[in-house]
Amino acid sequence: MSKTITTQELVKLTAGGDDYIRTKLNVVKGLALRMDLNPDAPDAVVFGKGPRVEGRARLFLESGAVVPAYVKRGVNKWEYLGLFRATEIRYDKETIEYHLGNRKPEEVAGVLFLASVEEPKIAMIGGGFPDAATRKEIEDAAIKHVTNSLKKDGFQVDDRQNENLGYDLLAIKDTVTRFIEVKGTDNPEPRFFITRNESKFADENSEWFIYIVCMARRSPQLHVFTGREMRQKFSFSPLAWECNLAE
């Protein structure tokens, strides 16, 4: 599929209409996004009020549909972003204000969070890498340990794992806010993988922290680093490259 298409091609591919969520016969067919209305798209999409607009947002989430997403780049020009599914809707004031952009708060009903289904997946087989079920157990154990530790320290903890924001937990205590990425391992020494999204958020936000839980399923040992400390103390080795045809 071409990276850029015309408005006429967009209509054919996404069942027409003028909503950002394009549907046909109550089935979601695609997304047509504008960055002036959704500055954090495609990860987060702000939607307005009204039964029609709010209903389409809920339909997208509840249907589990995987659809192509396009963003407007100019007159008669739409860029293909990939395939996405909805992961969560949030209606709280804090989330809306964070993703609001230039829109007025009174015009917004909520924020729809999306996840790419085309993000590169790297299968680790052998060489000490655990299988998928084991990785999930380690991850859950690490999240539980960090959440409990934060609550003991007086933080209110909000799980944001499904929102693809670049961190897993939002922790708040008085005037202190921490955006926390959690990594778990069964090894006694800290070792982890970090995504492009997590790395970008860490570089742009001084309140970002990485909490690494070693021996997560047996005897959890917690290591905490700021984004800057992470850069200083750990070596970063590329595990894979995304390769596209050169234009």
Which pLDDT score, from 0 to 100, does residue 120 have? 47
The reply to whether 4-116 and 132-233 are identical in fold is no
The pTM of the full predicted model, rounded to 2 decimals, is 0.57
- Backbone dihedral region of 184: left (phi > 0), alpha (psi from -120 to 50 degrees) or beta? beta
182 in Cβ contact with 169 (< 8 Å): yes
136 in Cβ contact with 216 (< 8 Å): no
d(CA 158, CA 177): 11
pLDDT digits (tens, 9 = 90+) for 191-227: 888 888 899 899 999 999 999 999 898 889 999 999 9
d(CA 10, CA 234): 45
Residue 124 has pLDDT above 50, yes or no: no
Range with lowest mean pLDDT among 76-80, 124-128, 234-238: 124-128
Kind of pairing between the strands at 221-226 and 67-74: unpaired
Residue 16 has pLDDT above 70, yes or no: no
Domain boundaries 4-116, CATH class: mainly beta
Neighbouring residues of 117: CB distance < 8 A, sequence distance ≥ 6: 66, 82, 83, 84, 85
How is the chain split into domains, by residue range?
4-116, 132-233
pLDDT digits (tens, 9 = 90+) for 46-79: 999 999 999 999 999 999 899 999 999 888 899 9
Residue 121 has pLDDT above 50, yes or no: no
In sequence order, what E strands does 66-175 have? 67-74, 77-90, 108-116, 156-159, 169-173
What 8-state DSSP symbol labels residue 165? S
Of the pLDDT bands very low, low, confident and very high (cuts 50, 70, 90), residue 4 is confident
Which pLDDT score, from 0 to 100, does residue 133 have? 76
Q: What is the mean predicted confidence (pLDDT) over 101-112?
A: 90
Three-state DSSP state, 34:
coil
Topology, domain 132-233: Trna Endonuclease; Chain: A, domain 1 (3.40.1350)
pLDDT digits (tens, 9 = 90+) for 135-194: 889 999 999 999 999 999 999 999 998 887 899 999 999 999 999 999 998 888 888 888
Which pLDDT score, from 0 to 100, does residue 219 have? 87
d(CA 156, CA 170): 8
7 against 244, higher pLDDT: 7
Residue 247 has pLDDT above 80, yes or no: no
Which pLDDT score, from 0 to 100, does residue 18 have? 66
Which pLDDT score, from 0 to 100, does residue 49 have? 93
